[in-house]
Chains A and B, each alone.
Chain A
Amino acid sequence: MSGSLQLEVSDLRVQIAGHQGVVRPIDGVSLEIAPGEAVGLVGESGSGKSMTLKSILGLLPPDAKVTSGSVVFDGTDLTRLSHSRLNKIRGRRIAMIFQEPMSALNPVMRVGNQIAEGPRVHLGMSRAQSVERAMDLMRRVGIPEPERRFRAFPHEFSGGMRQRVMIAMALSCDPELILCDEPTTALDVTIQDQILRLLAQLCHESGTSLMFVTHDLPVVAQVCHKVAVMYAGRIVERGTVSEVFSQPLHPYTLDLLRSAPDIDHPGQSLVPIPGSPPSLTNPPSGCRFHPRCQFAEDDCKVSDPPLRLLEGGRATACLHYERCLDQIGADS
Chain B
Amino acid sequence: MSEQDILEAAGIEVSFPVGSSLAARLRHQQHLLHAVDGVDLSVRRGEALALVGESGSGKSTLARAIAGIQRANHGQIKLDGKVLPARRRSRADQRRIQMVFQDPYSSLNPRLTVGGILRELLRVHHVVPRDEVESHTRELLRLVGLPEDALQALPRQFSGGQRQRVAIARAIALRPELLVADEPVSALDVSVQATILNLLQELQGELGLTLLFISHNLAVVRHLCDRVAVMYMGRIIEVAQTEELFRNPRHPYTAGLLAAIPRMTARDEEEAPAVRGDPPSPLRLPTGCRFRTRCPIAQPICAERDPALASGDMDPEHSAACHFAWTVQAANAPEAV
- Interface residues in chain A, defined as those with a beta carbon under 8 Å from any beta carbon in chain B: 44-45, 158-161, 188-194, 196-197, 200-201, 204, 215-219, 221-222, 241-242, 245, 255-256, 259-264, 266, 269-273, 276
Contact = CB atoms under 8 A, between A and B. Distances in A.
A93 to B, nearest CB: 26
A260 B219 CA distance: 9
Given A259-B193, A272-B192, A221 B264 contact: yes
B278 interface: yes
Contact of A44 (B191, B274, B278, B337): B191
30 contacts: A44-B190, A45-B189, A158-B278, A189-B54, A189-B216, A190-B273, A190-B274, A191-B278, A192-B262, A193-B260, A193-B262, A193-B273, A193-B275, A194-B276, A196-B262, A201-B269, A216-B190, A221-B265, A222-B262, A222-B263, A241-B266, A242-B266, A245-B264, A261-B197, A262-B264, A263-B261, A264-B263, A266-B219, A266-B246, A271-B194
Residue among B193, B266, B276 with the highest chain A CB neighbour number at 10 A: B266
A218 B190 contact: no
Given A189-B54, A194-B276, A259 B262 contact: no
Contacts of A194: 273, 275-276
Given A245-B264, A256-B191, A259-B193, A190 B269 contact: no
Contacts of B222: 261, 263, 266
B331 to A, nearest CB: 17
Contacts of A264: 263-265, 337
B273 A197 contact: yes
B215 to A, nearest CB: 11
A275 to B, nearest CB: 10
Contacts of B194: 259-260, 270-273
Given A193-B275, A272-B194, A222 B219 contact: no
Contacts of B218: 189, 263
B183 to A, nearest CB: 13
Interface in B253-307: 256-257, 259-267, 269, 271, 273-276, 278-279
Contact of A188 (B191, B216, B264, B266): B216
A215 B55 CA distance: 20
Contacts of A269: 198
Given A242-B265, A260-B194, A190 B189 contact: no
Contacts of A192: 260, 262
Residue among A215, A217, A259 with the highest chain B CB neighbour number at 10 A: A259
Contact of B263 (A45, A197, A221, A260): A221
A190 B198 contact: no
A130 to B, nearest CB: 27
Contact of B257 (A189, A197, A262): A189
B195 interface: yes
B261 A272 contact: no
A196 B274 CA distance: 12
Given A193-B273, A218-B262, A221-B262, A263 B189 contact: no
Contacts of B91: none
A44 B189 contact: yes
A190 B275 CA distance: 6
Nearest to A258: B194
Contacts, number: 125
Given A192-B260, A194-B276, A216-B262, A260 B337 contact: no
Contact of A215 (B189, B256, B259): B189
Residue among A190, A255, A273 with the highest chain B CB neighbour number at 10 A: A190
Contact of B269 (A191, A204, A255, A259): A204
B54 A190 contact: yes
A45 B261 CA distance: 22
B130 interface: no
Nearest to A215: B190
A191 B54 CA distance: 10
A272 B267 contact: no
A208 B231 CA distance: 38
A270 B266 contact: no
B33 interface: no
B260 A189 contact: yes
Contacts of A189: 54, 216, 218, 257, 260-261
B152 interface: no
A259 B223 CA distance: 12
Nearest to A195: B273
A261 B223 contact: yes
B329 interface: no
Contacts of A273: 191-192, 194
Given A194-B275, A261-B222, A261-B224, 9 more contacts: A192-B262, A193-B274, A197-B271, A218-B261, A256-B191, A260-B194, A260-B219, A266-B242, A272-B192
Interface string B147-173: 000000000000101000000000000
A7 to B, nearest CB: 23
B220 interface: yes
B269 A200 contact: yes
Interface string B39-64: 00000000000000011000000000
Contacts of A266: 219, 222-223, 242-243, 246
B336 to A, nearest CB: 11
A261 B274 CA distance: 22
Contacts of A256: 190-191
B257 A270 contact: no
A226 to B, nearest CB: 12
A321 B5 CA distance: 51
Contacts of B274: 190, 193
B262 A276 contact: no
A259 B191 contact: yes
